[in-house]
Amino acid sequence: MVSKGPSTTVLDYHLHLWPHSQGDAEATIEQVAAYCERAVDAGVEEIALTEHLFRFTQAKDLLGGFWEDLPVEALRPSMAAYWDHHARVDLDTYVEVVQAVKAEGLPVVLGLEVDFYRDRMDQVAGFLAGYPFDVLLGSVHWLGAWRFDVLSEPLMLAEWEIRDVDAVWDEYTRAMEELGESGVCDVFAHPDLVKIAGRVPAVPDEFYDRITEAAVRSGMAAEVSSAGWRKPMGEEYPAPPLLRRFIDQGVPLTTASDAHDLPDVADRVGDLRDLLLSAGATRLRGFRNRQPYEVAVASLDPG
C-alpha cells in the first residue's frame, strides 16, 4: 500500500505508461502502482492514467484508415505507419489493470486521451460508452494527416516551413472548437499544444479567446501542464494569457505532467501549484465516473 504523502492537493491527470518509441507493450499492476507511489511521494493526491486511444488495437479496428481521405497525400503513409507502430495494446487489459489498482485503494482513476477525429466523434463516443472511464481527455495532435507536434520527423517539421502560422493556429482552434462541441471528453489536454514548435502568431489573442469560449460552451475543464517546460519552447501549457482567460471565465482546471515514463510522473508539481496560486486559481477539478468534483489547490487554513 502506498503511504499518503504531503498534502499539496495537486492532481496529475495526464499520464501514459509507455514512451512513443515503444510499440508492443502491456499494462501491469506493478507499473501502475509504481506511478501511484512516485506521485504520492511528490505530494500528488490522485493520478489519472490516460493512455492514448490510438495505442489500442480496438481503436485501429474502429478508426484505422481515417487518414486515407485527408488532405496532403504525401503525409498519409507516415500516419499509417504511426498507427501501425502504436496500435498494439489491448484496451480491455489496460482497463482491468487500472481498475484492479484502483480497487486496492491506490490513488488512481481510469482515463484515456482521445484525439479529435473529424466526422468520427459519434463513433468514438459510442465505443467508449462501453467502458468504465472516470475521465476522458480531449486533444488535437494532428491537422489532417500532419502530426504537427512530431518535431523529430523531418517530413512533419518541414510542414512548419511552408505553412502560414496564423492559418495553422486557425485550423487547430477550429479542431478544438469542434472537439468541444462533440461533447465526448471532459478536459482539454495541453490546450495550446500548437505552439510546440515555437511558431506563435504575432497577435494570438483571437485564438486564445476562441479556445476559452470553446471550453466555456462545452463545460470542459482545461489542463495546466508542466510538459511544455520539457519541450523546445520551454513554456507551460497553457500560455499565461490563455490561463488568465480560463480563470477569468471560470473554466475549471486540472493539472498534469503528461509523463510517458516513471521519472516524469508528477514533474514540477510544486511549480504548477505555485503557478496556479500566483494566477489566483484555488480550485481544481477531479473526476469519478465522468462526474466532476472539486479540490483545493492548497490549504487555505494556515493551521
**pLDDT exceeds cutoff 80 at 130:** yes
**pLDDT exceeds cutoff 60 at 103:** yes
How many Cα atoms within 13 Å fall on the side-chain side of residue 125?
14
To the nearest whole number, what is the mean pLDDT of the chain? 93
How confident is the model at residue 242, as a pLDDT? 98
How confident is the model at residue 9, as a pLDDT? 67
How confident is the model at residue 24, as a pLDDT? 86
Contact, 13 vs 49, CB < 8 A?
no
Q: What is the pLDDT of residues 159-213, one digit of tens each?
A: 999 999 999 999 999 999 999 999 999 999 999 999 999 999 999 999 999 999 9
Single-letter amino acid, residue 260: H
If you count them, how many residues does the chain have? 303
Q: What is the pLDDT of residues 248-298, one digit of tens each?
A: 999 999 999 999 999 999 999 999 999 999 999 999 999 999 999 999 986
Kindly list the structural domains of the chain, giving each domain's residue range(s) and its CATH number in brackets, ordered by start.
10-296 (3.20.20.140)
How confident is the model at residue 2, as a pLDDT? 39
**pLDDT exceeds cutoff 70 at 78:** yes
